């Protein structure tokens, strides 16, 4: 049995759309894609009249180098959302193959499952005194008894902030291997103490890792992510993706962001964000308005409030916009606050009466 046996049977031999750029033909005069032969007057670079590479080769190679995988194990995606959507479409038959998630969690896993008609299995997190924890036996049971074909985990988790150790990921991948795909969404891993699960890909063919340039690399508007997986999974998902998913302008910007000099600045910014996270947490721990600051390995903090509406209103009155989490299961008193600049964080603390 191979990992492709978990794919929807009707898609195992699906070749996808053979776009004009995917053929990789070479020439000096391009008349094969019905493009305008002249650039737009609004295009100062004079290149956007042509379709971009479906998988920009230089960007793919650079991301593979950054994440420590072979290029054939990486697919460039439109943020992490595209990877989530493609995985659900590839592995879940409508009405049959379920998606398991650890709630409360990032909402796009459930959205993609619903669009595909895949049943959703919710395995609640455990709210322990030391912080939120994943119910790993519950996730194994979701695969064994409830038909989960994909298990989505965000580590560090959004919105709760906890991380999984690599040992725990290995144990879970081993327990569900051959029966389901395990997807680790590492959107916030740059801020965490734990390493990336990409180091486990060779050992577990059914493991998939999602990465993004939206957070630590400050390119949320460019919509560049990466899906790391076994080459056969990457090849399959490329056949399901849009003909030209990556805008040329975004690919060029991402390459600039991955230069050695820019990566060094990014690392310094991540270090500052971690330091600010600790400072903000320490200050809020002593604030009467906050009943609990949940431990976080990400670039945000989840706050349980004594009077959530009053805290939310005080923040808005100060011009500070945070995420109201009260509609999510288990978070009826919670707000999520991103870590901003020191000046922005001071404004947050003042609004909550937490400035020392």
pLDDT in tens, 42-62: 999 999 999 999 999 999 999
Q: Checking DSSP bridges between strand 131-133 and strand 148-154, what pairing results, if any?
A: unpaired
The residues with which 77 forms a beta bridge, in sequence order, are 225
Other Cβ atoms closer than 10 A to 28:
4
The residues with which 132 forms a beta bridge, in sequence order, are 127
What is the model's pTM? 0.96
Per-domain boundaries in the chain: 3-19+54-258, 261-351
pLDDT in tens, 114-135: 999 999 999 999 999 889 999 9
Q: How far apart are CA 209 and CA 302, in angstroms?
A: 24
Could you tell me which of 77, 303, 345, 280 has the C-alpha nearest to residue 187? 77
Specify the CATH number of the domain 3-19+54-258.
3.40.640.10
Q: Is the separation of the CB atoms in 294 and 304 below 8 Å? A: yes
Backbone angles phi, psi at 333, to 5 degrees: -125, 20
Provide the 8-state DSSP code for 38: S
The answer, yes or no, to whether residue 289 has pLDDT greater than 90, is yes
pLDDT (average), residues 101-118: 98
pLDDT in tens, 138-176: 999 999 999 999 999 999 999 999 999 999 999 999 999
Q: How far is CA 36 from the centre of its chain?
A: 35
- At residue 127, the 3 state secondary structure works out as strand
Q: How far apart are CA 117 and CA 133, in angstroms?
A: 28
Q: Is the separation of the CB atoms in 333 and 309 below 8 Å? A: no
Answer CATH for 261-351 from 1.10.10.10, 2.60.120.620, 3.90.1150.10, 1.10.760.10: 3.90.1150.10
H or E stretch covering 324? strand 323-324
Mean of per-residue pLDDT scores for the chain: 96
Q: Is the separation of the CB atoms in 95 and 117 below 8 Å? A: yes
Per-residue tokens: 72: 């054939």
Q: What percent of the chain has pLDDT over 70?
A: 100
What's the pLDDT band for 23 if we cut at 50, 70, 90?
Answer: confident
Backbone angles phi, psi at 323, to 5 degrees: -95, 120
Q: Is the separation of the CB atoms in 226 and 210 below 8 Å? A: yes
pLDDT (average), residues 87-102: 98
């Amino acid at each position: 049995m191979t990992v492709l046996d978990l794919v929807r049977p009707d898609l195992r031999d699906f070749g996808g759309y053979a776009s004009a750029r995917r053929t990789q033909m070479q020439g000096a005069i391009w008349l094969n894609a019905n493009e305008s032969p002249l650039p737009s007057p609004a295009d100062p670079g004079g290149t956007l009249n042509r379709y971009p590479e479906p998988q920009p080769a230089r960007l793919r190679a650079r991301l593979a180098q950054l994440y420590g995988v072979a290029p054939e194990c990486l697919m460039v995606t439109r943020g992490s959302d595209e990877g989530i959507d493609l995985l659900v479409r590839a592995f879940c038959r409508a009405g049959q193959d379920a998606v398991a998630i650890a709630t409360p969690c990032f909402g796009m896993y459930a959205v993609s499952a619903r669009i595909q008609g895949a049943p959703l299995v919710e395995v609640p997190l455990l709210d322990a005194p030391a912080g939120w924890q994943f119910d790993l036996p519950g996730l194994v049971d979701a695969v064994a008894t409830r038909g989960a074909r994909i298990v989505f985990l965000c580590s560090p988790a959004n919105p709760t902030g906890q991380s999984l150790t690599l040992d725990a990921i290995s144990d879970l991948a081993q327990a569900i291997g051959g029966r389901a795909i395990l997807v680790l969404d590492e959107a916030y891993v740059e801020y965490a103490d734990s390493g990336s699960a990409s180091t486990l890909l060779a050992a577990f063919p059914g493991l998939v890792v999602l990465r993004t340039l939206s957070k630590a690399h400050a390119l949320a508007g460019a919509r560049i992510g990466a899906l790391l997986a076994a080459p056969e999974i990457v090849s399959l998902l490329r056949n399901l993706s849009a003909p030209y998913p990556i805008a040329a302008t975004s690919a060029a910007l991402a390459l600039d962001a991955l230069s050695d000099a820019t990566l060094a600045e990014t690392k310094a910014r991540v270090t500052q964000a971690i330091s600010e996270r600790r400072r903000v947490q320490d200050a809020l721990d002593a604030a009467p308005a906050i009943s609990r600051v949940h431990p976080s390995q990400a670039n945000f903090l989840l706050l349980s409030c004594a009077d959530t509406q009053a805290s939310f209103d005080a923040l808005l009155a100060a011009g500070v916009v945070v995420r109201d989490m009260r509609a999510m299961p288990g978070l009826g008193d919670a707000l999520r606050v991103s870590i901003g600049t020191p000046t922005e964080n001071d404004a947050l603390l003042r609004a909550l009466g937490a400035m020392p």
